[in-house]
A and B are shown apart, each in its own frame.
Chain A
Amino acid sequence: MGVLLTGCVAAPPRGGGASTVSPDVESPWFREATAEVGLASEAEPWTAEGEYFLPEVTGPGLALADLDGDGDLDLIQVRFPPPGARDRPAPNRVYVWSEGRFHRLPGDAGLADPGYGQGVAVADTDNDGDLDVFFANYGRDSFYRNRGDGSFEPFTDAAVVGGPDVWSSAGVFCDYDRDGDLDLYVVRYLRYAYAGHCIQGGTIRDYCGPSGFDGVPDSLYRNEGGTFREVNAEAGLAPPGGWRYGKGLGAVCLDLTGDGWPDIFVANDGEPNYLWVNQRDGTFREEGSLRGVAVNRHGAPEASMGVTVADLNDDGSPDLYVTHLSQENNRLYLSQPGGFFADASIEWGLARYDLPFTGFGCLFFDADLDGDQDLAVANGRVYRGPVLPGAGLSPFWNLYAEPDLLLENNGQKTFAPARLAGDFTVPATITRGLAWGDVDDDGDLDLVASTTDHRLRFYRNEAAPARRHWLRVRALAGGRDAIGARVQVFAGERRWTGWVVPQQSYQTSGDPRLHFGLGEIDRVGKVEVLWPDGTTERFPGGAANREIVCRRGEGA
């Protein structure tokens, strides 16, 4: 039963409340339970040889969100036509969670978008208390409004869905102008038309890399009371003179410079990343190179794809982790005073493990509830390579399959492969989207992954011994999730920091609620929320192992 606090509603999870985790023994962290939760029958593995059509190896993403407002996390699977049949639509699918399983909805709740899907972003864009959905497509994007009952209808706002017929890779919602509604940043990749295969290093036919194609401008759409207008020019989003457009694949939007205003980091493939710094007057200025997130420590741009954020060094500021191609380390850009960043991939031990793999989705989360952030990385090649153990796709696609990575934070500022990763790192696949969420509502975070061949994989978290505790925080402003808010949980000398950033990882939209592993701490002192409008409120803490809902204006 929930307990009414000042401004906060707290409720235990319906899956069982406190200490619903595994017994007090070490067990593998993740067990694949795809079939168990009703997803396996939908697997649609490719059998065809690739025709080297580039968008078939860059997607797709997925979304975990409470689409029908019943408190559970539902699932949107983004899809695209199979290789060799580009004109055959493969509409997106929707699964709702009930009674411990996912169930595909008839008609997919109106979200069966036939576009060539890549990314998805979910948020309440009209402040009516339910979630709307944006699909980033190769070709025209699409936008769907929630009718209020968990079903959706196309939203034909010309500024967004009538945008350029180009290749969008992801969408990110945030309130950049602090006017109370969520604006949309659309990340765009290449100006690409199919012109056959490319020849890669080993002189074999393969997918083309991005270098032979032009980047295209991203778009910022300002929400003007429920309708959207592209404001690139007035927001100053053109790259400075002499620069090419980036080739964006991933993005996050939150305050990265410490002034309380949301900034936008864009992961560009083979080009310097962007950091659009909010100038607090509706405009942005690109400062990626100045602030140390554009290139690696050797001054070289890399093939940036996915991005995730967390406060690893406990300074209350977000650190960025960006995935890359094999032979390029994934990068940890660690926050420094003044809103600067330093490449700390080597110092934190991350560089040792990812070099052979091509990373896409990535997420910081506390897998074992020990109080620090672990890291999951979804891998899968875009160029051929040797077949690895665990590859169970068709002969053609096995050449691209790689195992995913699960890195454990040892609490000493270094990461190492999780000793008991379980099934998550076993199969070699071509994974792209990756989302976390307490899908089975038992107090720990499960993982859902999407692969290029339209398989979904569900990994049930069985990591934490029973003595570990957790707290879930939902921050609401104006009746919707306060995207961009910073939430800090205090317990004695300890402090945990998180940000409401549902659109992170790669082409993926996740649960906006924050989930803090508390280790053996079973009570928290207070919860402090820095709202997107720059104000701060404190809320009482209390017992662990429950969800606290903090509403703006109801704290102290």
Chain B
Amino acid sequence: MSKRDAGLRAILLWALVCCAPAVPVPEPDLEQAEEEVRQAVEQAQRKVREEPRSASAWGALGDRYRAHLWLREAAACYAEAQRLEPEKFDWPYRRGKALRVEDPQEAARAFERALALAPGEPMAHYYLADALVRIGEPSRAREHYTRALELDPALADALVGLGQLALSENRLEEAEGLLRRALVLENDHPAAHLALAQVLARTGRQSEARGHADAGRRSLRRGASPDPRDPMQLEPAGSVVRSGLARRLLREGRTEQALQELDRIVALHPELATPHYLRGVALVRLSRAAEAEREFRRALELDPLMAEAHLALGQLYLAQPQEAARAYAHFTAAAALRPDEAPAHLGRAEAALGLQRLEEARAALEAALRLDPDLPLAHYRLGLLAAMRGDTRAARASLERAERLLLQEATEASLPDAPGEALLPRVRRALLALGEDSAPRRSSRE
């Protein structure tokens, strides 16, 4: 073959590879999508059509689809990005994440590919292990959880995964050790608490088991930890994505940004109650109480059974002594709607105290403590009520309990009717007024 022929063949080959027709752009059904979503999706699709050999354009479209849970379409985009940019870790990694629940077998293959490119990524080892558990390969899963931990010893999720594997194989002692280590790293890890509860129950330690079961169930509502290799920080579109983002921003204390997102959701869907409620929460934090009140009221007009909105209105009115009756009405409604929520009963008690309805306050405090026995404010109020009745013994017991709880707490509790005033000095003053020192302080002096 001549040099010229060889050159021509090379050019031909290049043309075949580089100018090969791109795969069809996956197109989910946008017929009922919100306008904002449609625009965002169509923009990302346009970018891909304009630059069909741009891996980042395909990846961005994959991200957009994944944000709206079009996971199969997202995976197809990441696959094309991976074909165009085979050395980049992100594409198989994100493909694996898109498929990890729906198709764990394929997800495992994607994570393996990602790890071939970046063997030192702990999260990829973790997700591969998770996929392997889902497809019934516990031995390989154990290897990858272990590797994830070697690379990131603070990865509690990997310890929990190992603990759960040990539990499922009845190696209870090993499971206990792993799960306790995970809880040292993340003390509100729900899966760690729940698995440890099972280990303890199986080994006859029922009381401790119950404590972990309770802690696990209380922690279930915490948000997922952010993934540093998959930030997904694309400009949101659509009420669902914005709603998730707004909740996260509120959780992280980024109230102004949350409010911006919520404004857009309310504009898109004024008929939905929850965005109004969340907007109210943000406005309270920004000390815009009058606007917050309007939002909570609007939420209740749209959904009269929204206990959270009643609770929030109760809190707003509780801060205004002349509004104690309205506070009481809203806390009462919240407690009726959600009788298993201690804050509703506690709020009702506070409002009843404001109205001098002492017996009702006492009943509500007792209801709150039945649900959550560790409420220092409730014990403090019960102590004062007992003192007013002349029951010094009961008063002292309640106040001492409040003091013990406050000493255990890392943060200082304050009073709803006197924001900023710490509760602990008040408890101590009340105890002194009873004429006797309290047990915890006696022991601390000793």
Contact = CB atoms under 8 A, between A and B. Distances in A.
Interface of chain B: mostly helix, strand, loop or mixed: helix
Nearest to B273: A195
Contacts of A466: none
Contacts of A198: 272
B77 to A, nearest CB: 16
Interface of chain A: mostly helix, strand, loop or mixed: loop
B213 A289 contact: yes
A214 B194 contact: no
Given A202-B28, A301-B220, A214 B307 contact: yes
B305 A242 contact: no
A241 B168 contact: no
A201 B198 contact: no
Nearest to A295: B194
Interface stretch (B44-52, B90-98, B128-136): B128-136
Given A203-B68, A346-B136, A299 B192 contact: yes
Chain B interface size range: 35 or more
Interface string B201-219: 1100010011001101110
B298 to A, nearest CB: 13
A275 to B, nearest CB: 11
Interface residues of A, number: 49
A88 interface: no
B173 interface: no
Contacts of A347: 136
A298 B206 contact: no
A199 B240 contact: yes
Contact of A340 (B33, B70, B202, B220): B202
B69 A351 contact: no
B354 interface: no
Contacts of A299: 160, 164, 190-192, 194-195, 216
Interface string A183-210: 0000000011101101111111100000
Contacts, number: 132
Contacts of B305: 191-193, 213-214
A343 interface: yes
A95 B305 CA distance: 39
Given A202-B70, A203-B37, A291-B201, A195 B303 contact: yes
Given A195-B302, A299-B192, A203 B238 contact: yes
B220 A291 contact: no
Interface in A286-317: 287, 289-292, 294-295, 297-301
Interface of B: 28-29, 32-34, 37, 68-70, 101-102, 130, 133-136, 160, 164, 168, 170, 190-192, 194-195, 197-198, 200-202, 206, 209-210, 213-214, 216-218, 220, 238-240, 269, 271-274, 302-305, 307, 337-342, 370-373
Interface of A: 191-193, 195-196, 198-205, 212-214, 217, 238-245, 272, 287, 289-292, 294-295, 297-301, 327, 336, 338, 340, 342-343, 346-347, 351, 355-356
Given A214-B338, A327-B102, 5 more contacts: A196-B272, A214-B307, A243-B218, A289-B194, A289-B198
15 contacts: A191-B305, A193-B303, A200-B240, A201-B68, A203-B240, A204-B32, A212-B274, A240-B210, A241-B373, A244-B338, A272-B220, A289-B197, A298-B133, A340-B202, A351-B136
The 3 closest A-B pairs by CB, nearest first: A299-B191, A201-B69, A289-B213
